[in-house]
Every structure is written in C-alpha cells, then in structure tokens.
Structure 1
Amino acid sequence: MRRIPAELVKRYEAEGWWTRDTIGDLLTRGLAAAPGTEFRVHSASRPWCGTFADVERVARRLAAGLHERGVGPGDTVAFQLPNWMEAAAVFWASAVLGAAVVPIVHFYGRKEVGYILDAVRPQVFVTAERFGHLEFQPDLCADVPVVGVVGRDFDELLAEKPLLGTLPADPADPALIAFTSGTTRDPKGVVHSHQTLGHETRQLAASYPPDRGKQLTAAPVGHFIGMVNAFLIPVVDGTPVNLTDVWDPGKALALMSRYGLHIGGGAPYYITSLLEHPDFAPATHLPYLRYAGLGGSSVPAAVTKRLAGLGIHVFRAYGSTEHPSITSSRHDAPEAKRLFTDGEPLSGVDIRLDEDGEILSRGPDLCLGYTDPELTAATFDEEGWYRTGDIGVLDADGFLAITDRKADIIIRGGENISAPEVEEVLLGIPGVAEAAVVAAPDARLGEHAAAFLRMLPGHALPTLAELREHLERAGLARQKWPEEVHGVEEFPRTASGKVQKFRLRRDIAVRN
C-alpha cells in the first residue's frame, strides 16, 4: 500500500473525517436505528421484499456460518451477484466479520473473473447459478475454500444462529477491494480502508438533497458507487432500498409510477434513456426526476441544459474508484456551476493541476493503493497525490471542468473499458498485425469502443460479427466489445513510433 504522509493522517483524524469506526460498526448502528425500513428487489428472476432487519438476519447467519469455517478479520470475501438481496447479505456479513469484501461486476466474463480471483485469493466466493450471461463455472473457483451459489447451495452457508455484534478490526485495514478497468491490460484492484470508505459514505449521505425521495438503484452493486448507494448510504440515512437487477427504461418508468420511486442520477444514460422511452409521460414521471446528480461518464452540456429545461435540478460530480468524490457541485450552487462544471473540491480534498493540466488529488476518501505494488508506485507520490489521468481547468472560483483524458480508457455508460485489455485480445485474431481501440461518441452511452486493425498481407479485415465471436471465446465481458471496426493501412504515429490515438478519435468523430 502507499505511504500516507503523517501530517495528512493527523489532519483527517483531527477533522473527524477518519474515525475509529469500522464499516461493521457503521452498519450495526444504522440497522439498529431503522430495522423496519423497506428493502425490495424488483426482478423478473429473483424478486424479494422485506425489511432491513430481515436482510440483517440473513447477513448475520451468513457471518456466523463463515466464521465457523474460519473466516474473520483480515480475510477476503468475493462475490459476483446482480442487484439481489443476497449481495447485501454478503457485503454486510463481510463487514461485521471485519473481512475485506471484493465485489465483482455481474457481467464480467471468464477472463476478468479468473484474473480477480487469482489476484486476491479470497477465502469465500459467492456467485449466482445463472443470470443473463453469468453462469457458475466451478473450475474458476476450484482453489477457493468456501464457495456459495445463490439458487443452489447458498443457504447451506447460513448458521442457525446469527453472529451478534462485530468482530474487532483495525479501521486503517482494508475493507474493500474494488476492481476497475484502466490503462492496464487487466482490471486494477483498488484497496479502500474502513476509514476511506466510511468517510466517502458519510460525505455522500450528507451531500444528497434531503427531499430526493425513495431512490431506485440500477447501477450494478459490483461497482463501487452502486454498492455504496445501495448498501451503505440508505443504512446511514434510514431510507428504503429499492434495487433492480436489469436496466430497462420502460420497467423503470413503471416502477416509478407504481411505487413512487425516484431516479437520482448516475451516468447520463440512466436519465436520457427514460426521457427517450415511448412510455415517458412528463406529467406522470417528471415529479420522480426531481434531481439528477450526474457523473461516472462524460457529461455533455447539451444534456445538462436539456434536463434543466425540463425542470430537473442538475448537479455534476467527478471522481473515480480510486478517489470516489473529488469534486461536486452542491445541489444549491448557482445554476451555471451545476450545469457546466464538475464542481469544487469536497471536504478534505486537495487538487492541483500539473504542467500538462493533469488533475492530481488527495483526500480522506482516497484509496490505500492497488493490489499491484508497481501500479501503486507509479500512480501515487510521497506527498499523497494521486495522478488521475484526467485533464481539467479550474475557474476563478475554484470549480473544476474536465476537458480531456490522458488515461487510455473508454467510459461506456459509466463502465470503464481498458483499451489495452481489448487490444491484447484482438491481437489473437489470425491476421491482425496491430490493434488500437479508442472512444467513439455515442448518443445513448456517451462513448463506446471502436477498433482499428492493421492486417497482415493476404488477410481480410474481420467483420464485426467475426470480431465479437473471437471476444466471446476469449471470455471478455460484452460491455467491452467494440461496436465498430475499421481497417487501416498504417497507423498515425509519433516520432517515437507510438500510435496517435487522438487522430483516430478525431477520425471517428468526423465519420459519425
């Protein structure tokens, strides 16, 4: 893990941003304060309805069952589940055990899941027997001591009596290892402590508008922000949990009308797909779109102006899995700041721009580092600064606007796609000499992946269908598959021979 300067530790503790609470302590207090709060899963395959107390009992029976199997503080518990009740139970159980939880996005494929399990070597892995393209693959977790499969044998992990209280853990120790795509060829394991995750949870809970209504969470709980919004913030606030395991705008609109559920934001696609659906009725649905906190993807000004024109109160935020909340506009900030900037630094956060305009940040919710020590050393410096890979500008009032990206990633509907990871798989196609993957504009999702291939003499450019067949055989998650393919005789290059991807992106923009 990175070295956190002593003066920063002292400051974070003195300000109350870092406390002696573990995530288990935070959950235990919140659940005890609002046991009768609604917890509902809206799902065609695994619907569920109950209360916080009902879910907590499952979680504590699971915690007791895992503890009987030797799981406790310092261990790791991985899960790959959709937005189901059992995902909350696994996360809450891990927290009261003092174990680090490893959420895995439910649509990750064999390649990503195999890498993650090998990287963290968990004591426990809980997954689904089948959901969409997710299917239990026993060989992937053959070396994991405890495996539970929802829909098959998950209940066998539950002890008869629940575990009471929480097991003691050091709040500076890891509480979460979240994997995300970036500039590396494999997912990056981002390590958060009880302190960094606890501060992020309390900070977000305090910053949300008090009249935001009952929220529907559609973001995958395998993602950092989806998990925090689904399983932590509602417990701190004592507000209902409503999950959906598939994003279907028509069904979401129906849930809004039937249950009075609100959509509070996320990647812009979640909001725009509702507005563009034929079932959208302004008089019926706009009252449940009171606020739109946008982030996790590029946020075009055209979108923020459109939403504001409908009377939706828009505010933007900027962060990453490594540093979840760097900047945000307060919901009561001036409209121009909310619509056209990514906000100002949040509590305890410092930001600065280097000579190239790259954003460097540090703060009490910044992660401990990566599971890869070399990546940690390359990304964080001795003074505690994190190199975000994003380019930005600061206005006279200290509000930040993201203008470009140095990191070699595509952000499709809030999902990070590592260009090098996809390129490496594409190079396995017979006849491909070189591959470059870049972001292409997408009216619905913000961006999608576009592949440029240079073929060896005598080999034809593969069709998009052929390319996708290869990616499916390789086990790469479908969200990462390129959605267009182009052939080139030669790539534009720098003097040192590096492919000039900005020129490929410019070419894509002209074509589209």
Structure 2
Amino acid sequence: MRKIPPELVQRYEAAGWWTPQGVGQLLAAGLDAAPDSPFRVHSEVRPYDGTFRDVERVARRLAAGLRARGVGPGDRIAFQLPNWMEAAAVFWASAFLGAVVVPVVHFYGRKELGYILRAVEPKVFVTAERFGRMEHQPDLYAGVPVVGVVGRDFDALLADEPLSGTAPVDPAREVLIAFTSGTTRDPKGVLHSHRTLAFETRQLAERYPPEWGRLLTAAPVGHFIGMVNAFLVPVLAGNPVNLLDVWDPAKALELMLSDGLVTGGGTAYFVTSLLDHPAFTPDHLRYMRYAGLGGGTIPSVVVDRLADLGIKAFRSYGSTEHPSVTASPHTAAEHLRTRTDGKALPGVEIRLAEDGEILSRGPDLCLGYTDAALTEQAFDGDGWYRTGDIGVLDEDGYLTITGRKADFIIRGGENISAPEVEEALLAMDGVAEAAVVAVPDARLGERAAAVVRVRAGSRMPTLDIMRAHLERTGLARQKWPEQLHEVEDFPRTASGKIQKHLVRRDVAARA
C-alpha cells in the first residue's frame, strides 16, 4: 500500500472525512434505521422482492456459515454475480465479518477471472451456475477453499442462525479490492480502505438531488461504482434498492411508468438508449429530470439533446482509484454542467503537471494496487495520484478533460486495455503488428478499433475471423475491437515506436 502523509491523515480526520467507523458498522446502522425499505431485483432469470431486513438476514446467515468454515477478518471473499440479491448478501456478509470483498464484473471471461483469482487468492468465491455467457467453471477456482454457486449449492453455505453484531476492524485497513482494466495487460487490483469507501459512500449520497426519485441500478455490481450505488448509498439514505440484472431499455422505460423508477445516468449510453428506444414517449420525461454523466467521454451532441428535452445533465470525473475527483452541481450554469467536468469535490485537491496530466488526492483516494510496482508508478510521496488523464483548469477551478496519456479506451464506462487486446491480436496467424485505439461513438462515448499490419504473403483477417480468435483467447467480448483496418505500415517515431495519436486520427478520418 502507498504511504499516506501524516498531515493528510490528520486533516481528513479533523474534518470528519475519515472516521473510526468500519463499513460493516456503516451498513448495520443504515439497515437498522430502515429495515422495511424494499429490495427488489427486476430479472427474467432470478427476480426477488423483499426488504432490507430480509436480505440482511440472508447476509448474516451467510456470514455465520462462512465464519464456521474459518473465514474471518482480513480474509478475501470474491464474487462474480449479476445484479442479484445474492450479490448484496455476499457483500454485506463480508462487511459484517470484517473481510475484504473482491467484486468481479459478471462479463469477465476466463482470462480475466483466472488472473484475478490468482492475484488475490480468496478464501471464498461465489458465482452463478449460468448467466448469459458466464457459467460455472470449477477448474478455475479448484484451489479456493470455499465455493458457492447460486442456483446450485449457495444455500448450503447459510447457517441456521444469523451472525450477530459486526467484527471490529482497523478503518485504515483494506475492505475492498476492485479490479479495473487500463494501461496494463491484466486487470489492476485497486485497494480501498474502510475510510476511503465510507467517505465515498457519504459523498455520493449527498450529491443526489433530493427530488431525483427512486433509482434503478443497472450498472454491474461487479464494478466499483455500481456496487456502491446498489448496496451502500441506498442503505445510508434509507432508500429502496431496485436492481436490473440486464440493461434492457424497454424494461427500464416500463419500470418508469409502472413503479416510478428513474435511472441515475452514468455513461451516455444509459441515457441515449432510452431516448432512442421505440417505447420512449414524452410521458417518460417526468422521470428523466436529471442525468448525472461520467465514466468516459461525454459527446456534446448528447448533452445538447438532453437540454433540448428539458433534462438537466451534469458531469463528473473520477476512476476506480479516485472515485470522485470533480463534479458539477446540478444547480450550476448549463455551460459549466455540460461543457466541463466540474470542480474539485470536498476534501479533494487537483493540480496539473507540466505536461497537463491531472494529479489528484483526497479522502476517497485508494490505498494503491495489489501490484506494488504499479503503486510505485502511480503515487508520489506527498499523496498525489497520477491519473494518466490530461486536462485544463479555468480561472474558477472547473476542470475539463482534454486527452489521455494512458493507453486505454473507455467504452460505455468499461475500461479496455489497448496493450491487452494488441497482445491477443498478435497471436493471430499472419498478424505482424497491431495497434488498438479509441474512436468516437455517439452512444458509448468511445469504442475500440484495431489496425493491423500483416506479414508478407499473409491475408488480412476479416472481422469475423478476428472475433473467433478473441473468443478462443477468453477475452471478454466488451473488449473486442468493433472496427478492423489494415495498413502497410504505421506512422512511427524516430525510434520506431508507433505514433498512436496519428493512428487514431487516421482511423477517425476513415470513419
């Protein structure tokens, strides 16, 4: 873990941003204050209709069952589940036990999941027998001591009597390892403590407009922000939990009119897919007063369209490492809400390096990575995090992201490591070199395009051949390039390195 300067610790504690309270205590207090709040899963596969009290009992029975199997404070509990009740039960049980939870997005394939399990060596792993393309793969987690499969033997992990109380914890210790893709070939394990996660939860809860309404969470709970919005923020506020396990615009629109549910925003795609759906009507605009946008590039055409419909959009900026860096309040002037990424949030500091790279630090900044070498590269001794993003600050402190030093693409909020995909492409027959770059997309913000140079005498692969190859490698489908281009050679630096900014420009010109 990175070293946090003592003066920062003192400042955060004095301001009340860091407290002695663990995440388990935070949860227990919220659940006790609103036990009858509804907890619903809107699913064709595994629907659920209960209350906070019902789900807490499952979580506490699971916690007791795991404790009987030798699981305790500091042990790692991983899960790969869709937005189901059992995902909440695993997360809440981990918090009550003082364990470290490791959520894995349900669409990660064998390659990513295998790496994560090897990296964290969990004592428990919970998954589903099947969901979409995800399926039970016992060979991947044969070495995990305790495995539970929802739809098969998950209930066998539950004790008859629930665990009482919450294990005492050191709030400075890790409570969550969230994996995210980026510039490295393998997912990066981001460590968050009780202090950083609790502060982020409180900050998010305070940022929602009070008149927003009852939120529907469709973002995967295997993602950091999806998990926090699904299982922590509503509990803190005493609001109902409504989960959707597959993003289905028709279902979301139906739930708006039938249950009065609203979507919180997220990436531009979650909003545009509603507006573009044939079932969308002017009646739905009553439930679309606000759109909090973030998680990647926000095309100006999207925010202009929202404004024309009377939807008040506001942008924010953050990452798994530093979840909430800047945001525009929903009360800010339109040009600030929609053309900048906002101002530094309470407790957060930002500054720009000489090359324009954004450096940040604050009470919700992570502890570092599971890979000590990555931690050394990304953080300095004064507590600053090198984001890899390029930006500009105006005279009033509003930040606008203008580019990216890091070599990854953000497709609909999902980070795609360009080197990881390039490595997979280089294993294809006949491919001599490959470059993967971002191309603009009006719905998703960005999507991946692959540019390849084939060896002399080899034929250029088709998009279908490339997809079949990536399927065999086990790479998650969300990472597959959606365009494929051929070049005789790449633009290069004097040292022979591919100039990706020129590749990106050329691909955009072709489009």
- Counterpart position of 1:485: 484
Local SS of the residue matching 1:417: strand
- Counterpart position of 2:105: 105
- Counterpart position of 1:214: 214
Local SS of the residue matching 2:147: strand
User: C-alpha distance in 1, partners of 2:137/2:392?
Assistant: 46
For residues 453-509 of structure 1, the C-alpha deviation after alignment (integer angstroms, 9 at most, x for no partner) is 111111111111111111111100000001111111111111122111111111111
User: C-alpha distance in 2, partners of 1:395/1:304?
Assistant: 20
CA positional deviation for 1:243 = 0.4
Maintained 8 Å contact 1:264/1:290 = no
Maintained 8 Å contact 2:408/2:415 = yes
- Counterpart position of 1:313: 312
1:345 is matched by which residue type in structure 2?
A
Maintained 8 Å contact 2:301/2:442 = no
CA RMSD, Structure 1 to Structure 2 (Å): 0.7
The gaps in structure 2 that reach 5 residues or longer are none
Maintained 8 Å contact 2:299/2:442 = no
- Counterpart position of 1:52: 52
- Counterpart position of 1:196: 196
- Counterpart position of 1:28: 28
- Counterpart position of 1:17: 17
- Counterpart position of 2:506: 507
User: C-alpha distance in 2, partners of 1:464/1:73?
Assistant: 48
- Counterpart position of 1:146: 146
User: C-alpha distance in 2, partners of 1:248/1:501?
Assistant: 35
User: C-alpha distance in 2, partners of 1:394/1:457?
Assistant: 48
Maintained 8 Å contact 2:125/2:144 = yes
- Counterpart position of 2:121: 121
TM-score (ref. length: structure 1): 0.99
Local SS of the residue matching 1:215: strand
- Counterpart position of 1:274: 274
User: C-alpha distance in 1, partners of 2:148/2:266?
Assistant: 31
1:50 is matched by which residue type in structure 2?
G
CA positional deviation for 1:443 = 2.3
For residues 147-187 of structure 1, the C-alpha deviation after alignment (integer angstroms, 9 at most, x for no partner) is 00000000000000000110111111101000000000000
Maintained 8 Å contact 2:426/2:432 = yes
User: C-alpha distance in 2, partners of 1:313/1:236?
Assistant: 25
1:461 is the counterpart of 2:449: no
User: C-alpha distance in 1, partners of 2:416/2:210?
Assistant: 34
Of 242-251 and 363-372, more deviation after overlay is shown by 242-251
User: C-alpha distance in 1, partners of 2:12/2:431?
Assistant: 51
1:28 is matched by which residue type in structure 2?
A
User: C-alpha distance in 2, partners of 1:154/1:495?
Assistant: 58
CA positional deviation for 1:301 = 1.9
CA positional deviation for 1:440 = 1.3
For residues 47-82 of structure 1, the C-alpha deviation after alignment (integer angstroms, 9 at most, x for no partner) is 110000000000000000000011111110000000
Maintained 8 Å contact 1:392/1:401 = yes
CA positional deviation for 1:120 = 0.1
Mapping 1:143-182, distance limit 5 Å:
143-182=143-182
Aligned residues: percent identity?
Answer: 72
2:324 is matched by which residue type in structure 1?
S
User: C-alpha distance in 2, partners of 1:137/1:495?
Assistant: 47
Mapping 1:31-42, distance limit 5 Å:
31-42=31-42
Maintained 8 Å contact 1:328/1:345 = yes
1:429 is the counterpart of 2:423: no
TM-score (ref. length: structure 2): 0.99
For residues 361-403 of structure 1, the C-alpha deviation after alignment (integer angstroms, 9 at most, x for no partner) is 0000000000000000000000000000101000111000001
CA positional deviation for 1:133 = 0.2
User: C-alpha distance in 2, partners of 1:175/1:121?
Assistant: 15
Local SS of the residue matching 2:262: coil
User: C-alpha distance in 1, partners of 2:484/2:258?
Assistant: 42
1:353 is matched by which residue type in structure 2?
L
CA positional deviation for 1:4 = 0.4
- Counterpart position of 2:419: 420
